[in-house]
Amino acid sequence: MTPSHDDDPASADLELRLAAIAATIEEFAQLHFDVRAPIGPRGDVVDAVAAGVNFLGDELEVAYRELEQRVADRTAELEHMTEEMRRRALHDQLTGLPNRTLFWDRLAHRLLQERRVETCAVLFIDLDRFKAVNDSWGHATGDQLLITVAERIVSQLRAGDSAARIGGDEFLVLLDAVSSAPVALEIAERLGASLREPFEVGDLTLKVTAAIGVALASSDLCSVDELVNAADAAMYAAKRHGPGRSRLHECSTWREDA
């Protein structure tokens, strides 16, 4: 007849010690590294196994924390790269302004806000004789001029307005809230006056002017393309009358900047 554990205390104790080691290993498998297999005073093989398991737990914890940190670092890096790719996709690389895609999106969103009391307007800005700057001083100077022009445009915006560079020396401005066409034209003329102030580019002092077309959202101009095209047409109408002009779309008269 085989003796029971009750009849053999040593076997029962051994089984309990081995069960404790097995339970510790199971905890490690669940990534619970705060447990340790008990080590008794005997210093026998079971205690040696327990010590080995505890050492393995320490090593596993270090490896896991390192892997966890690497994953966190890689995730943060990917998030940064994703945000940078998104920023590059929606912003002009030279000036940092929104590009055509982002401007179209913002204007489309604004045009959907039908219940607002005040309407919005688009300014189409084109620098006069910008090619002469590139031809005379080089493209690096021209690029720096565009950067400073962008900064000056932004400095003239009101809260809620936004600007974009859509290519070359062409910029767009969304006036978020204007009460009338004369108010929009007045803002355009103030912006044009600010652009006539000299620009310091390196050792050079450069003077430029800009033609500005103004188009107010209305029942006739209720889509993004219609509004931008109207402002573009007004800009060309202003340019035909000389440098530094502002003009309203479908306005029968034109006027100089103040």
**Per-residue pLDDT tens over the stretch 100-150:** 999 999 999 999 886 677 899 999 999 998 999 999 999 999 999 999 999
Catalytic residue status for 169:
yes
What 3-state class would DSSP assign to 205?
A: strand
Asked if residue 18 has pLDDT above 90, the reply is no
Q: Report yes or no: 49 and 21 within 8 Å, Cβ to Cβ.
A: yes
**Mean pLDDT throughout 59-80?**
89
Q: What is the pLDDT of residue 183?
A: 93
**CA quadruple 51, 57, 58, 59: dihedral sign:** positive
Q: Which is nearest to 125 in space by CA: 182, 165, 161, 172?
A: 172
**CA quadruple 5, 6, 9, 14: dihedral sign:** positive
Q: What is the pLDDT of residue 221?
A: 78
Q: Which of 169, 176, 232, 257 is catalytic?
A: 169
Asked if residue 171 has pLDDT above 70, the reply is yes
CB neighbour burial string for 170-206, b if at least 16 within 10 angstroms, e if fewer? bbbbbbbbbeebeebbebbbebbeebeeebebeeeeb
